[in-house]
Every structure is written in C-alpha cells, then in structure tokens.
Amino acid sequence: MRGRLILIEGLDRSGKSTQAEILANRLNGQLFKFPDRSTPIGEIINKFLTDPTFELSDESVHLLFSANRWEKAAQLNKLLSEGTHVIMDRYVYSGIAYSLAKDKSRDVEWLYGPDVGLPKPDLTFFLTVSMEELGTRKGWGEERYEKEQFQLKVKECFLKVLRVDTDPTIEIVDVNGLSIDETTLKLWSIIEARGL
C-alpha cells in the first residue's frame, strides 16, 4: 500500500516542526521539511532568509522555493511508493501564501504553476495560533518574514489558498493555548478519525 503524505502548515513558530517530528515518530514515517536548507538550492534560500542584505526578486524567490521541493520529489515519490508514510513540515501552500502576501495582486495560477506535478498530501493541517501567543515564542523575529504585520497577511493568504470548503483533505486546527501534548492529541484524533 502507498504511504500516506501528511502535511503540517502554519505561520512561523506555530509549532509545526515540533508536531511533525512527533507524528513522524508515531507513524514510524519519514520527516520532510521545506525549505530543505541542506540542498544546493536550499543554501541559497537560507542565505536569502537569514541575510537581510541579500536581495532576490519575488519571482526568483518563489521559483527557488518550488525548485527546492523538486530537488526532493524523486526521493519523496520513492518512499511513498514503498509504503513509507511521510510527514511534511511546510510545502506548496507555504510557497503560495508567502508569495501572495508579498503581492496580493499576483496571479495565483502563476504561483501554482511550478509546483504542478508534485505529490499531493492526503491530509493537510493548518495550525492556527493567535499573534499574541506567536510573538512570545522562541526565536521570533530572527528571520526575514518574521514580522507581525507580514504574518497577519500570510495568515489571510493561507486561508484564501486552503480551500477548506471544497477540499476534503484540508483541516484547519486551532491550537491556541494548547500544550505540545494537547496539540498532538488533537492532530492524532483527526488522523485516526480519517482512518489514515
């Protein structure tokens, strides 16, 4: 049987990475994280995120994030076809939401274009946390994009891009005020209820 691809999306510091790691262990699956900063393209992305003097056009950045996913696509497809579950920390929706937040007049079809053909998640969680709580979390404000005003725009763009009304694979999960364990419990119950 094909492995399941479960994606966790959310704003910076929303707890995605922590939960992705826990779920990967529980499901005895593999963890994928995007951007993957260890690849050749990932190194450029890392420089862009951490060096405020390193400028790239919005289009280039968008295409680099997508190219970073394609660097891992063959490995991802292989694992899934062998029956390994994959838990993913950010993916295509982050790509669209962050680019759209920079320029809301951007053609969404254009934004989706470079990711067409990548494996689709069987389930996508979008974790929501209040801005107030996010701001108190470790490491906030260190990287590009980690500004409250921008994060608010990203949240709006995520909610626009995640077609929760028509796409049954999307689950928006409010984790505000929940501990790590309580959040895991909530996500796990959804995975179980869906028989994944």
Nearer to ligand NYM, 85 or 90 (CB): 90
Of the ranges 2-10, 94-102, 157-165, 171-179, which one interacts with ligand NYM (CB under 6 A)? 94-102
Per rule CB under 5 A, count of chain residues that contact Mg ion = 1
The 29-48 contact track toward ligand NYM, x by CB under 6 A, reads -----xx-------------
DSSP 178: -
Distance in Å, CB of 12 to ligand NYM, minimum: 5
Residue 121, contacted partner among Mg ion, ligand NYM, none, CB below 5-8 A by kind:
none
Least Å distance, CB 65 to ligand NYM, is 3
The type of residue at 195 is: G
Q: Which of residues 1-20 bind Mg ion (CB under 5 A)?
A: 12
The stretch near ligand NYM (CB under 6 A) out of 24-32, 90-98, 117-125, 162-170 is: 90-98
Angle 47-7-90 from CA coordinates, rounded to 5°: 15
Nearest 5°: the CA angle 100, 46, 76 is 80
3-state secondary structure of 89: strand
Helix (H) or strand (E) holding 7, with range, is strand 5-10
Task: Select the residue whose beta carbon is closest to Mg ion and give its number.
Answer: 12
DSSP labels, 114-158: GGTTSPPPSEEEEEE--HHHHHTSTTTTSSTT-SHHHHHHHHHHH
Count how many residues are written for the chain: 196
Q: Of 4, 72, 85, 90, which one interacts with ligand NYM (CB under 6 A)?
A: 90
Distance of CA 171 to the CA centre of its chain: 13
Residues that bind Mg ion (CB under 5 A): 12
Contact residues toward ligand NYM (CB under 6 A) are 12, 34-35, 49, 65, 90, 94-95, 98, 145
